């Protein structure tokens, strides 16, 4: 699979208790993979309560079209 355009939505959030979320994330890093996955879900739930302050979409200025037989260039042999 090939991706022809890349966009990212960036959301800056202000959490109601950011120290608690940082501490919670730090504890989850030392646990096993399964525990980290479940802790990550809980952390995301905390972040979902955060208030969005700024949202922007970052996209490259140049978007390439997918190659086709008509537009393909090949060096002369």
Percentage, residues of the chain above pLDDT 90: 0
What range defines the domain where residue 49 resides? 20-58
Total domain count, the chain: 1
Q: How would you write the chain as a 3-class SS string?
A: CCCCCCCEEEEEEECCCHHHHHHHHHHHHCCCHHHHHHHHHHHHHHHHCCEEEEEEEECCCCCCCCCCCCCCCCCCC
Half-sphere exposure of 27 (CA within 13 A, CB side): 11
pLDDT digits (tens, 9 = 90+) for 18-39: 545 444 444 444 444 455 455 5
Q: Is 41 a domain residue?
A: yes
Q: Is 47 a domain residue?
A: yes
Global model pTM greater than 0.85 = no
Q: Is 70 a domain residue?
A: no
Q: Is 8 a domain residue?
A: no
pLDDT digits (tens, 9 = 90+) for 53-64: 555 555 555 555
Residue 69 has a pLDDT of: 56
């Amino acid at each position: 699979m090939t991706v022809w355009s890349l966009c990212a939505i960036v959301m800056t959030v202000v959490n109601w208790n950011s120290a608690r979320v940082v501490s919670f994330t730090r504890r989850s890093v030392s646990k096993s993979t399964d525990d980290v996955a479940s802790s990550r879900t809980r952390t995301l739930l905390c972040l979902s309560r955060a208030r969005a302050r700024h949202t922007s979409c970052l996209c490259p200025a140049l978007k390439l079209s997918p190659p086709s037989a008509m537009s393909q260039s090949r060096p002369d042999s």
